[in-house]
Structure 1
Amino acid sequence: MLRHVVLFKLADPAPDKLQEVKDKLLSLKGRVPQLLEIEVGIDVVRSERSYDLALITTFESLDDMNAYQVHPYHVEVSSYIATVRQAAVAVDFIVD
């Protein structure tokens, strides 16, 4: 299993924008066959080092994650996210 974690800092972290982005990310569920699990959370601490949203997804393999990356609906969601994010960081790791 492979876990893909992305943290997003939005250009406008207003509550309604955070919810809109969360909903858009969650809309990936059921639309990309390789995506086994998805979680999206909005940061509650709001410290200076915090990012605004976390996306946690699970795949059977690296090949499945790579297929997810180029899936047309993921590309659509990613294009939207690119218009509202200020920064993003990611980590991908094998789940034992």
Structure 2
Amino acid sequence: MIEHMVMFKFKEQTTKEQKEEGMNRLKALAKVIPGIVDLQTNHNFSDRSKGYGVGLTVRFESRDSLETYGPHPEHQKVVTYLKEVGLEDTIVVDFEIQE
């Protein structure tokens, strides 16, 4: 299994409602992209966030599932929306879960 973690930094003018909409669109991907085992996203409450205000974790069945996710048209629609509302930067970490 693969764990995919993303931290999102938005511009100051991005509203809470726009971030909420982005998170709702991300959550919907779990129902349309094959290979997703679990998907969680929410606001980051850490005081060590360095401006990264939203977090996402996606658990995939395999590396192939992760590779399908990135270019998937529905995922790309969400990425486009996030950029439109002020996505400034992301940090991504992918690792294999040892069972």
Q: Same fold (TM over 0.5)?
A: yes
Amino acid at match of 1:68: Y
Among all aligned residue pairs of Structure 1 and Structure 2, give the percentage whose two residues are the same amino acid. Answer: 25
Amino acid at match of 2:60: F
User: Can you give the 5+ residue segments of structure 2 that lack an aligned partner in the other structure?
Assistant: none
Residue 38 (structure 2) pairs with residue 20 (structure 1): no
| Alpha-carbon RMSD | 1.7
SS class of match (2:30): coil
Q: TM-score, normalised by structure 1?
A: 0.87
Kindly indicate whether the alpha-carbon contact (under 8 Å) linking 2:22 and 2:78 is maintained by their aligned counterparts in 1.
no
Alignment match, 2:33: 32
Kindly indicate whether the alpha-carbon contact (under 8 Å) linking 1:46 and 1:52 is maintained by their aligned counterparts in 2.
no
SS class of match (1:29): helix
Judged with a 3 Å threshold, the aligned counterparts in structure 2 of structure 1 residues 48 and 56 are, in CA distance, closer, same or farther, namely closer
Residue 91 (structure 2) pairs with residue 72 (structure 1): no
Alignment match, 2:96: 94
Matched residues, number: 96
Amino acid at match of 2:2: L
